Amino acid sequence: MGLADKDHISELSDSSAIKICYKGRPECVCTHCAVRFISICAALDQDELEELEAMSQSASFPPKAGLFSQDEPVISLFSITEGVVRLYKLLPDGRRQIVGFALPGDFLGSSLPARFGVSADAVTSVVACRFSRQGFSTYIDDKPRLLKKLHEFASNELTLAQEQIVLLGRRSAEERIAAFLISLRDRMRRVGHVSVTLSLPMSRQDIADFLGLTIETVSRTFTKLAKDKRILIVPDGVRLTDPDRLEQLATG
Amino acid sequence: MGLADKDHISELSDSSAIKICYKGRPECVCTHCAVRFISICAALDQDELEELEAMSQSASFPPKAGLFSQDEPVISLFSITEGVVRLYKLLPDGRRQIVGFALPGDFLGSSLPARFGVSADAVTSVVACRFSRQGFSTYIDDKPRLLKKLHEFASNELTLAQEQIVLLGRRSAEERIAAFLISLRDRMRRVGHVSVTLSLPMSRQDIADFLGLTIETVSRTFTKLAKDKRILIVPDGVRLTDPDRLEQLATG
DNA sequence: TTTTTGGCTTGACTTATATCAATGCTCGAT
DNA sequence: ATCGAGCATTGATATAAGTCAAGCCAAAAA
């Protein structure tokens, strides 16, 4: 992706893509939000929810649009309500490592850093609540419950990161793919998506860059798992034919 | 290490190894603590420091002693004042991945989890301040500054973890070793250790399990870096002969 | 002092995954 | 209906790192 392209996307996300959510609406829409009870908002009572809604905007991003870039000062924080976001780091020579995928309910910036440690862009169409860092940061100062919830979110991220470290440091390609599928299924479940068919909106290249493999190895490993009847490859995803054996593979 | 051995160590850390720090002393020793301003205690004023000291114990661990184990309920939290601790996860089949080394000033349990996500044991002799999770957790409830500091510590851990993910996913053996040495040097500096000679108290096996390599590859890579005059291998450590080129290697 | 032990290094060989190179598929544009 | 662009798959080959097997060295035990 060239610079010009990137600028175009930034522009998008700064103007046309953003719609004011609270102002001009007859009532609090957050009350009926799909991620009301799994996002940080779960820590809020009705009054607080309305307060926070007043200081938030809804932002939509088309696939591939950037939410923010590594090392950039943190102006906005995001709570994802729809879609999938990839979080990644780039090395100077162009190698990319995806450190995680954010799903609905996830909060980007939970550690309240001054600058982003990773870049983020939309894999699918994404809808997020955007908070100004300033406003959010001062708002939580006398909201210990919200601060604790944020801490909890940051802790979960750390746990996921440590599991990723084990995966990358000590597991084979087949184990990585199995662990990826199981972990994604489990996270989708928590978000309310219960199904044997797992949708994989990200490309093979994304999966490869997440698992520390090449696209060819990812492809071959999928084919192998399919031949062994542990998964069935379907358009835009896989069906977990034998989740138990897959889980066993994933665990080691 | 067998189970019997492990029990022995647990016993050690529960009795003879622990010395009460506050009671019976004429004054607050924390005031003169070596990590007073780099540990979480940096968030405390003198009064708070004394309060926290009253609810802490000093605990010493000999090399190889366990501080806690993965999945174990979190009874105590630790602030490391001396020595090096390895944090690791074990796979069912015995593979080990070290997720990090804790140095003086580091806090173990900053994410306040119900159970530990990793195991920890002493690499060198270790001295730590031990807090009961219960006591600490309720103490911070009306100490937003301390809670924020804790959040900051958890965030740093996340940042380190994400860098480790990039290292394990996308870097060669040589780059991993270089990054390890540079990162350790930088962390030692922050702790007040400024020297071209970097002490490496952990074994080659520890380094291998941290970098996702085998002990042989670690050894060969050290030898190669030494032949190329980028490091000089000395007893219990290395001298960084050419830190700039090493840093360049580490960055990519 | 000699022996043992545990950690480290080195060499020879193997292998899992990467790399390079076609080829195939799907879907939107022409 | 055909073309072309982007993904994805598959095959052939290369290579970085792993495995297996000595041997070395220093410190602890006998």
pLDDT band, residue A27 (cuts 50/70/90) = low
pLDDT of amino acid B86: 98
pLDDT band, residue B27 (cuts 50/70/90) = low
Distances (CA, A) of A153 to A91, A229, B12, B178: 27, 36, 35, 32
pLDDT band, residue A1 (cuts 50/70/90) = very low
Beta partners for residue A124, in sequence order: none
| Average pLDDT estimate for B113-141 | 96
pLDDT of amino acid A7: 33
pLDDT band, residue A57 (cuts 50/70/90) = very high
Structure tokens at B176: 């991993």
Examine the pLDDT at B210 and tell me if it is beyond 50.
Answer: yes
Angle among Cα B218, A174, B70 to the nearest 5 degrees reads 65
Examine the pLDDT at A16 and tell me if it is beyond 70.
Answer: no
Which residue in the set B89, B144, B169 is minimally distant from A141, CB to CB? Answer: B144
Of A63, A46, A73, A47, residue with least CA distance to A1: A63
Percent of chain B with pLDDT over 90: 86
pLDDT digits 0-9 by tens, B152-184:
999 999 999 999 999 999 999 999 999 999 999
pLDDT of amino acid B153: 97
CB contact under 8 A, B91 and A211: no
pLDDT of amino acid A142: 86
Percent of chain A with pLDDT over 90: 86
Between CA A231 and CA A251 the distance in angstroms is 17
Structure tokens at A160: 């996921």
Examine the pLDDT at A81 and tell me if it is beyond 60.
Answer: yes
Between CA B130 and CA B5 the distance in angstroms is 23
Full-model pTM: 0.92
A113 at B interface, C-beta within 8 A: yes
Lowest mean pLDDT among A97-106, A121-130, B25-34, B78-87: B25-34
CB contact under 8 A, B162 and A118: yes
| Average pLDDT estimate for B51-70 | 96
Which residues interact with strand C by a CB < 7 Å criterion? A 172-174, 212-214, 216-217, 235; B 203-205, 215-216, 218-220, 222-223, 233
| Average pLDDT estimate for B197-219 | 98
